Amino acid sequence: MKLPASNAPSLFDRKILDLHRARARIEDLFLHRAAADEVHDRLKLVNKTFTSPIIVSPFPKVWTERFPEADVVLDDDVLELSPASNDLVIHAMALHWANDPVGQLIQCHRALRPDGLLLAICLGGDTLTELRAALGQAEIEITGGLSPRVAPMGELRDLGGLLQRAGFALPVADSVPLSVEYRDLWHLMHDLRSMGETNALSARRRTLTRRGLFNAAQAIYSENFTSPSGRLTATFELICLTGWSPDDSQPKPLRPGSAQTRLAHALRTDERKLPD
């Protein structure tokens, strides 16, 4: 399934991302397990039995624990998916690292049979807002500049729009906020490193960061984002995207002007003409 080559610069450095993921500890992937539980719960609400599920994930073991009947492919730029071969595709906690997220969704769409379901889950724009703010303020105060240290992540509305661009029917996007407490900034960064979620931006600073910057960020974080227990609060936003491969059996939206009942009648109010 070959997509046209793009000349656009890559936002993420895939070699560094792969290196970070290789160092991840499977027992520390709590965000992936939370996402797998969320996907599992949502699928139980779908009135359909899936017989050929496939999962796109950088960490197959976590997802096969929850979905042992599913095949798994890695989230490469070109996915190892066959056209019209699956009735369920789960894109699992990788879309926020994609250089071409709409391309990923298009490939998933092509892999689905008619009336097949895509369920994509990824980190959204509210993720690590506290860390982003603390590091940014500390760097401005110490160096007078600002460098990209936390990857930008898609907002709910924007990610929902990708479903339509990729050709999915009945698109839905919603989010699930998670709040996690940490002893200090270094505890949080250790967790991110253990999950393979540290900075892999192509434009990241390549020199070592002075410890003084992290000390300043710790102080700012502690002053502004502390829980009642005295620990640091970190927000992770899981965004869930669902869309269906179009099929004639699916409900269709009414054409504009085709409604048979006036709004005033539905609301049980009087319909009055506005003055000229």
> How confident is residue 266, by pLDDT bands cut at 50, 70 and 90?
very low
Residue type for position 63: W
With a cut of 90, say whether residue 61 has pLDDT above it: yes
Predicted confidence at residue 2, as pLDDT, reads 45
Least trusted range by pLDDT, from 124-133, 233-242, 255-264 = 255-264
Predicted confidence at residue 275, as pLDDT, reads 53
DSSP assignment letter at 201 = B
Average pLDDT, the chain: 89
> What digits encode the pLDDT tens for the residues 208-221?
677 889 999 999 99
* CA gap 30, 224 in Å, rounded: 25
The pTM for the full model equals 0.86
> What digits encode the pLDDT tens for the residues 142-155?
887 767 778 889 99
Which residue do the tokens 């890559």 mark?
A: 10
Predicted confidence at residue 270, as pLDDT, reads 52
* CA gap 149, 189 in Å, rounded: 12
Pairing of strands 53-56, 71-73: parallel
**Residues 102 and 73: beta-carbon distance below 8 Å:** no
Q: Tokens representing 44?
A: 């139980």
CATH superfamily of 14-248: Vaccinia Virus protein VP39 (3.40.50.150)
**Residues 135 and 220: beta-carbon distance below 8 Å:** no
